[in-house]
Chain A
């Protein structure tokens, strides 16, 4: 793997822009990440993207770190660092300045109305992300069942998410999924 300057710039631009578009959090950008990484740039196959998602969920830390894995896959260690920075830097700088501003001018009319109108958009994006991931990952009946069982368990109980992840990994290891 010998990525050129163009690849680095592409990563920086792609994820920097995505960071500023990530209304409703990193999870809401999953469909866009999939579109950019798999369909547009062919950095990853569908199966690799699903693997990255699985590794990111199984690791500690914010789920946004899936971009670190994508960056590493595309351009090695510099790619991993660059992509993580691009995904967290621009939005972070914006957050810093907006927070300072809001501390002085709190409780105005606009924040609540902006939030009220953004929430449905961001949940729509998350649902789209769930759908894209599900059709990528759930290619067999057993896989669909594991997804549904985990969803029900996680929605209905306060179980530590590590347990269903480990159990499903074991089922996969044994060749059941």
Chain B
């Protein structure tokens, strides 16, 4: 294939020669989104790092860590951060629309079907079966994320996790209230803890 002369920087990092264009961004994010049953992250990493070589593994981890830190759906944030890095605002928009437009059309179609046929006992039974497994998948992801935290055995981390679980899960407290208390408190305690450990 004919390629333009690579810039020494991207070539040195083993990356693609050309940054993705707008249409390419839209299509790439549509593809990973439509492949992603039960989560898009795995497919996003595969496409961005392994297939297209748009980012190194470390760059991807850094970008994703930032997206986890920000509020909102992590993968939606990733599309915006990723698109923006290569093509500015238009790039963000292209990746965002690619990620959300095709699957939201599918999900809306399913919603329309549900509102017409949701009362059919057959469909009702099938959906409740699927829901049981879906909750199982969700619990598995939660446990996977929890394991490194439990292994560190930091009493502050485990304490704030349990406190948030009790407030939101068992007491069903409003999220705004819990976050307004939990986030500053957790931040302050972590800060003090690190200073004490460092000292």
Contacts and interface: CB of A to CB of B under 8 A. Distances in A.
Interface of A: 17-27, 29, 31-32, 35, 39, 47-48, 50-51, 53-65, 68-69, 72-73, 77, 80, 84, 87-88, 90-92, 94-96, 98-100, 102-103, 106, 111, 113-134, 137-138, 143, 146-155, 160-162, 164-165, 167-173, 175-177
A164 B136 contact: yes
B36 A61 contact: yes
Contacts of B62: 106
A60 B36 contact: yes
Nearest to A98: B70
B57 interface: no
Interface in B45-69: 62-63, 65-69
A96 B168 CA distance: 29
Max chain A C-beta neighbours (<10 A), residue from B39, B108, B139, B144: B139
Given A61-B40, A116-B190, A161-B38, A77 B108 contact: yes
A57 B161 contact: no
Top 9 A-B pairs ranked by shortest CB distance? A172-B129, A61-B103, A91-B72, A150-B136, A124-B164, A128-B169, A161-B38, A168-B133, A154-B140
The interface residues of chain B, by DSSP majority, are classed as: helix
Contact of A138 (B39, B106, B132): B132
Nearest to A102: B66
Contact of B137 (A35, A91, A116, A164): A164
B68 A24 contact: yes
Contacts of A106: 62
A60 B34 contact: yes
B107 A39 contact: no
Give the size category of B's interface with A.
Answer: 35 or more
Contacts of B172: 31, 35, 39, 132
B182 A121 contact: yes
Interface in B102-140: 102-104, 106-108, 110-112, 114-115, 118, 122, 124-140
B136 A169 contact: no
A61 B132 CA distance: 20
29 contacts: A21-B176, A54-B130, A58-B37, A60-B33, A64-B75, A69-B114, A73-B111, A84-B104, A88-B100, A90-B72, A95-B76, A95-B81, A99-B81, A111-B69, A115-B68, A117-B160, A117-B186, A118-B187, A119-B157, A120-B149, A124-B162, A127-B142, A143-B132, A146-B136, A151-B136, A151-B140, A154-B136, A161-B38, A168-B130
Contact of A65 (B107, B112, B186): B107
B161 A124 contact: yes
B103 A95 contact: no
Which of B37, B106, B168, B189 has its CB near the most chain A CB atoms (within 10 A)?
B168
B33 A169 contact: no
B158 interface: yes
Given A95-B67, A99-B85, A58 B169 contact: no
B179 A23 contact: yes
A16 B76 CA distance: 14
B77 A95 contact: yes
